[in-house]
Amino acid sequence: MNKKFSVFLLIAALIGCNNQKVDKKVEEEKIRQTIKDWTGLLDKDSLERTVSFWIDDAIMMMPGQPVIKGKKAIREMVESSRKIPGFKIVWEPPTDINVSENGDMAYVFQRNQITMNDSLGKPMTQYNKSVSIWKKQNDGSWKDAVDIWNAEPPLNK
């Protein structure tokens, strides 16, 4: 085999490897299942297991709070949230998951409700809408990289 043909085959193989089709539906389902597993254990499981669903340099932006950067700061926020009287967060299943063309990132739309006791001990709930960015890990799993949410407008009664 001549050298030019060998180089051509090598380049063709490399291009072929980089243009692999991503099954977005499969990746979407992986993310959906990861979110289901994660939200099912938020109040119940260990702090470390809960925090393991974020990447190390994750960012959170919550209503009325400073930006939280990194897993250490997120761990501290989760730990302190669990100590708030009456605190509970409920994440609804995603309304939309959009996987990138190359399958390494996705953005997800969700809603959540955060409940905690007011100064009189009465539960109050805030309803929120959110978007999060997920990154595919080298092992094929997905982790949360960015969370941002804000309050839903009050319901008119």
Instruction: Write the pLDDT tens digit of every residue in 80-100.
Output: 998 999 999 999 999 999 999
Q: What's CA 147's distance to the chain center, in Å?
A: 6
Q: Check whether 18 has a pLDDT greater than 60.
A: no
Do the domain assignments include residue 17?
no
Q: CA 137, CA 139: separation in Å to the nearest integer?
A: 5
Does pTM top 0.75 for this prediction?
A: yes
Contact 128, 64 (CB under 8 A): no
Quick check: is 138 in a domain? yes
Identify the pLDDT of residue 153.
84
Q: How many structural domains are present in the chain? A: 1
Instruction: Please provide the size of the chain in residues.
Output: 157
In a domain, 4, yes or no: no
Q: Comparing C-alpha atoms, which of 78, 91, 79 is closest to residue 130?
A: 91
Task: Give strand pairing partners of 105.
Answer: 135
The mean pLDDT of 32-52, rounded to a whole number, is: 85
- Asked whether residue 157 is assigned to any structural domain, the reply reads no
* Residue 10 falls inside a structural domain: no
CATH number of residue 81's parent domain? 3.10.450.50
On average, the pLDDT of the chain sits at 88
Q: Is residue 81 part of a domain?
A: yes
Distances (CA, A) of 14 to 9, 44, 83, 103: 9, 46, 52, 18
Percent over 90 (pLDDT), the chain: 69
- Give the type of residue at 61: M
- Asked if residue 12 is part of any domain, the answer here is no
